[in-house]
């Protein structure tokens, strides 16, 4: 049973790398199997399609994201809520979740027709709406979207540094610093706590 779980997790991790590098449409299950040095049949044993892999990754992230959204819906609108929403969301973007969201944002147009991606992107749109302040609509919408971009880029930068050639992983303090820097930029975009 452990070997089956390990193979399933390896497929999900390598698939996300492949989707991020090549785009969802250009990534193939054959290439995925080759990278893992397993047969295509072994991939099919765990996932019948690429969409099943994507759905698995999206569902894993959707659960904690739904908790953040539920919290945000229950709070009074204002700067303190927006700042806390950003902090809670930034906490979710550690590791694979950050790479997944960055991939979804980068390939948004190409993934629009896939139900798992569409549902997750809809959740991100809801988060963006919760982050909007009471300013003029175009500016408030743009600031909210830029907050998410800052956090997604910070997560992607940490993931890229961790996957650097030679397999050297950044020190936890360095990763935490990048995360905090991205969070600070995002929080600056939603304005000071007192406004």
Q: How far apart are CA 82 and CA 127, in angstroms?
A: 10
Average pLDDT of the segment spanning 63-84:
95
What is the rounded radius of gyration, in angstroms, for the C-alpha atoms of the chain?
18
Asked whether the predicted pLDDT for residue 44 surpasses 90, the reply is yes
Q: How far apart are CA 158 and CA 95, in angstroms?
A: 8
| pLDDT score at 161 | 56
Higher pLDDT pick, 98 / 75: 75
Average pLDDT of the segment spanning 109-124:
86
111: helix, coil or strand?
A: helix
Q: What are phi and psi of 169, to 5 degrees?
A: -100, 140
% of the chain exceeding 90 in pLDDT: 50
Query: What are 165-176's pLDDT values in tens digits?
Result: 444 555 667 777
Q: How far apart are CA 31 and CA 126, in angstroms?
A: 35
Nearby residues of 138 by Cβ (< 8 Å), 6 or more positions away: none
Query: What are 19-30's pLDDT values in tens digits?
Result: 988 888 899 999
pTM > 0.85: no
Q: How far apart are CA 136 and CA 98, in angstroms?
A: 30
Structure tokens at 156: 């992607």
Nearby residues of 183 by Cβ (< 8 Å), 6 or more positions away: 86, 87, 90, 151, 154
Higher pLDDT pick, 22 / 135: 22
Least confident of 40-49, 79-88, 117-126, 129-138: 129-138
Higher pLDDT pick, 104 / 54: 54
To which H or E segment does residue 152 belong?
Answer: helix 137-162
Query: What are 10-20's pLDDT values in tens digits?
Result: 999 999 999 98
| pLDDT score at 160 | 58
Q: How far apart are CA 72 and CA 77, in angstroms?
A: 9
The residue length of the chain stands at: 195
| pLDDT score at 1 | 45
């Amino acid at each position: 049973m452990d070997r089956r779980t390990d193979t399933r997790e390896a497929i999900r991790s390598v698939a996300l790398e492949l989707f991020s590098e090549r785009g969802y449409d250009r990534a193939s299950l054959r290439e995925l199997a080759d990278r893992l040095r397993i047969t295509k049949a072994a991939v099919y044993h765990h996932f019948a399609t690429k969409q099943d892999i994507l759905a698995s990754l999206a569902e894993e992230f959707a659960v904690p994201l739904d908790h953040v959204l539920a919290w945000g819906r229950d709070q009074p609108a204002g700067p303190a809520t927006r700042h806390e929403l950003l902090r809670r969301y930034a906490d979710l973007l550690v590791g694979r979740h950050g790479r997944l969201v960055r991939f979804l944002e980068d390939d948004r147009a190409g993934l629009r027709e896939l139900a798992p991606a569409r549902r997750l992107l809809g959740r991100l749109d809801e988060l963006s709406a919760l982050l909007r302040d009471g300013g003029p609509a175009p500016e408030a919408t743009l600031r909210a979207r830029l907050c998410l971009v800052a956090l997604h880029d910070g997560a992607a930068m940490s993931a890229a540094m961790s996957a650097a050639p030679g397999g050297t992983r950044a020190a936890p303090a360095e990763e935490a610093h990048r995360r905090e820097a991205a969070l600070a930029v995002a929080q600056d975009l939603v304005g000071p706590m007192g406004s």
